[in-house]
Structure 1
Amino acid sequence: MQFATILYTLSMLLVCAFSAPLERRQETVSNVKCTSKTPLDFHTSNVALLQICGGIAGSIQKCQGLPTSTTGQSGNVRFTITPVVEGDQINISKGRWEQGIKAAFAVCGQNIPFTATFTGGAVKGDVNVVYEAV
């Protein structure tokens, strides 16, 4: 009985020693340019955010169909994603997309329109993102 407890304790220590850190991954964004000082509507922006790739809400975890560009629009708010490498295909995951948006908002402010490049998100590399009022 004590041997099993010791073995269990040692195995848990080993698992914890090699487990992933508890902090969240921060996506790298570059070329961030804030294009306005006026924030866009919070709710409309959230709806548009989930409209990329024909809808990335709910259980969908990644852009489907490998498009060469995509938009997410709701009302007067639009997100546009294009690969940095012309002709490349977008395969951005929901997690990478949302973390990239948070990182850009950290630079410009919540719901402030921007242009930026998100690391990854395409088969061959990065994606350019435009968040704007239309």
Structure 2
Amino acid sequence: MGDLPDYYFRVRENGAAVFRVDTENRQRRLEMDLIAMVNTRNGEIKPQGDRKLSDEDLAQIRSWLAARQQLLAARDIDDILRTVDHLNLTAHWAQTKAGEAQLEQVTDALLLAMHDLRTVLVKKKADRLTRTGGAQD
């Protein structure tokens, strides 16, 4: 087999299952041994079974965890920027293409969601300005 990594991370909703990849066995088959579960939200690493993770295991897992958290944060920002684009497209649709029945179907939901978002953003902005202003005194 080609150059396989020593570890495989099966991504799950909030983290990954970590497998040690073994190609150096008597049967010359690819084996994957579950060694740990990782939570990307809180950084928790749980060894599986009675397993004791080596320093190398922990280093590899922590490296993957840091890269994964960075990737997820970048995806979050990208999703939000796509939402801004989608809001602009929605405004154009409402102004130029939407029929009365279509507008009736979506207006209340959009107005409530946008009001909620505006409220949160204004509060967060005020909190940031208050902290920044207080730090300059």
TM normalised by structure 1 equals: 0.24
- By percentage of residues, which structure has more strand? 1
Structure with greater Cα Rg: 2
- By percentage of residues, which structure has more helix? 2
Using CA pairs under 8 Å that are at least 6 residues apart, name the structure with larger relative contact order, 1 or 2: 1
TM normalised by structure 2 equals: 0.24
